[in-house]
A and B are shown apart, each in its own frame.
Chain A
Amino acid sequence: MSTLEVILNAEFARRVRSRAFIAGTAIGVITMLLFALLPGLIHRGVGNSARRVILIAPPALAQPAARLLRANFEVVEILPRLDQRPTSAFLDAHRQASAVVILARSPAGLHAVAYVRDPSQFRSAFARDLAPLQIALATGMPVTKIVDHVAVPVDVHDVAGRFADVGAADAAKGAAFVFIFLLYLAILLNAQAILTSVAEEKTSRIAEVLVAAVDPTQLLAAKILAVTATGFLQLGVWIATGVLVGNAYTAAFTAGDVGANAGPLAVSPAEILLFVAFFVVGFAQYGVLYAAAASLISRTEDIGSVAGPLVLPVAGAIVLAQFGLLFPNSPAIVACSFIPLVAPFVMFTRIAVSPVPDWQLALSLTINVAVACGLALLAGRVYRVGLLLYGRPPTLRQIVATLRS
């Protein structure tokens, strides 16, 4: 068994048994449950009431209007008139309705007045839904006939032929968002574990014993590999949870809820491979940076001071990845998908929602693997030097001078 394997096995076992890993994995599982269930539950609990309206209209208008509104609203009650201005208590008394809509006919046509709980939540679909009634009143044509003529069937296809329909594209965006979040969570939790582990070994002087028998670069490499393996294990648990809960949720609830618009998630083996590749590269880049930074501190209390700045690029990458979901082929996002530390997040977003030219994938991977190797070499030197530096944290100038010596 090589030294690398010995350290790798020991580090992996130590991490998997650690409270931090168990707690982190549990947090991820809970997050996945929330991702899978919460939007639907919120929608079922709140969303339906947001669609409930009370219609106030004369009988001649009320029936055709109610039929038209059925597409997007639930008309909980129809009243011929309203004697006073409606209040929240009035809405509460009518199945927690969100709005009262008073419909009247004037010489100019239909006119609606809405009293709502939350104007920002009031759906503009109301006017669109009632448009056929307005036309019917103006032209004398039957409403049903107008509805038949107004409805224009639209089939949406993406030019690359990648998604079967809009639902599949929505599903890909959702998956990309979840994967990005998982990568963020995995980096945050496991890079923090590297930081703590290196700092602990250094402050307890175990490092001194280790580097007497092991090449520091090998030690660093084994740590990064162990943490990457731990990260994958964690990721596997989270994804399995997400898939199981997602499937159970889909089977338990039928159309009409959130998620019903999302189509089946089609992820090709090539995309999975690319995700794994960018995950490993991103993990390695952040892992070596965290390990090198940890080797420079002498007290575990100083962990926060080095961890803070390293969270910034991750946070920046998350923000950029959100833009990547919306504008996957904009020049700025394309450029970001080559930049180390950011690319693992942004490129995966692009892969998930839009076809990415092969040359861009190859170039991004090449740049990022090269930078990961370069960072590893640099971090190895910082680590080698930093492990034996005690006392006040060295200044940047001291670090550079030591690396040059």
Chain B
Amino acid sequence: MGSLVLSDVTRSFGAIAAVRGVSFDVAAGTTFGLLGPNGAGKTTTMRMILGILVPDRGTVSWDGAPITLRVRRRFGYLPEERGLYGKLHVREQIAYFGRLHGIAPPHDVRRADAWIERLGLEDDATRPCGELSKGNQQKVQIACAALHEPDLLVLDEPFSGLDPVNADVILAALRALQRAGTSLILSSHQMWQIEDLCQRFCIVAQGEVRAAGTLTELRSAWPTRVVEVEPSSAALRAVLDATPSAHALATDGRPTLAYELPVAADTAALLRRLVDAGDVTRFARIEPSLHDIYLRAIGSTA
């Protein structure tokens, strides 16, 4: 297993700078979330990692060396727009992509059958891929990308368009790959799914890195915290209103008081003041979610 390093990677298409000076690294066996809105440069970055595109500037390296075709054959790729041979049967399709990545017969078919079983595609094994539902096609595509037990698996929006059941099946497959030591890079708009899956994140917008690190690191860089207090009594509200730099937040009709405080605020002292002022049935210091961090990083409201 190796580690991936992107250093100051830049790529333009004509006058449009799709990726500008992006740098990050993915340690061996870890899962890395690449987040950003549409057009942020995620797919271009992934294509440069896979050698499909060549950076105009900067380097992409694996284990400290440039990525060659031999190295790339140990990678797997699930593009955002799915591509399968519509007339090829499921088993043949998966085995073929395995052979392309160096899995010789008969192991290609054996492994294909194992993936078919893992993804619950037994009834479709001999059906042409073009006849499958979108969810099942997605499963086949995952199997095609992962059959050769890649060192690095790059997944562009692996959960897009999937129902919760199929999303869970694919999530389970990705967790199995994690356990097997495969490094994963994935992009997704479903923050809740990748928040648990990824150890590190990189948020990009307009081709630039806006934030990067573990969730803890991203949270520690967040300037405020939210405290929620119940019940929503006048006495408790008065204490919160009197707290320096505290801003009340809308609670959408919930019987809760929600306030945003600076990250350095002494919440223990605040709790003591609240208890002194009246009955407190609930006090919670809410950490920012990945969704909040993402929205703030890309310049939208959190």
Contact = CB atoms under 8 A, between A and B. Distances in A.
A54 B105 CA distance: 77
B100 A6 contact: yes
A376 to B, nearest CB: 19
Interface in B71-104: 72-73, 75, 77, 79, 81-88, 96-97, 99-101, 104
A302 interface: no
A213 B52 contact: no
A315 interface: no
Contacts of B97: 209
A363 interface: no
Contacts of A10: 96, 99
Count chain A CB atoms within 10 A of each CB in B52, B72, B96 and give the residue with the most.
B52
Given A6-B100, A7-B100, A213 B72 contact: yes
A212 B51 contact: yes
Nearest to B69: A215
A205 B79 contact: yes
Given A1-B104, A14-B88, A388-B53, A212 B75 contact: yes
B174 interface: no
B46 to A, nearest CB: 9
A206 B100 contact: no
Given A212-B77, A213-B101, A206 B85 contact: yes
Given A213-B100, A388-B53, A204 B72 contact: no
A207 interface: yes
A168 to B, nearest CB: 48
A201 B82 CA distance: 11
Interface in A163-216: 201, 204-215
Contacts of B99: 1, 6, 10
B116 interface: no
Contact residues on A (Cβ < 8 Å of other chain), bracket: 20 to 34
B144 interface: yes
A217 to B, nearest CB: 11
Contacts of B227: none
Interface residues of B, number: 28
B52 A211 contact: yes
A3 interface: yes
A215 B100 CA distance: 11
Nearest to A215: B69
B18 interface: no
B109 interface: no
B204 interface: no
Contacts of B101: 213
B261 interface: no
Contact of B144 (A3, A201, A209, A211): A209
Nearest to B145: A209
Contacts of B105: 1
B222 to A, nearest CB: 36
Given A209-B77, A213-B75, A3 B83 contact: no
Contacts of A215: 69
Contacts of A7: 100
Given A213-B72, A213-B73, A206 B84 contact: yes
B5 interface: no
Nearest to A5: B99
Interface of A: 1, 3, 6-7, 10, 14, 18, 201, 204-215, 388
Interface of B: 47, 50-53, 69, 72-73, 75, 77, 79, 81-88, 96-97, 99-101, 104-105, 144-145
Given A3-B73, A6-B100, A213-B77, 10 more contacts: A1-B99, A1-B104, A10-B99, A14-B87, A18-B87, A205-B79, A207-B83, A209-B97, A213-B72, A213-B75
23 contacts: A1-B99, A1-B104, A10-B99, A18-B87, A204-B86, A205-B79, A206-B85, A208-B77, A208-B79, A209-B77, A209-B83, A209-B145, A212-B50, A212-B72, A212-B75, A212-B77, A213-B72, A213-B100, A213-B101, A214-B69, A215-B69, A388-B47, A388-B53
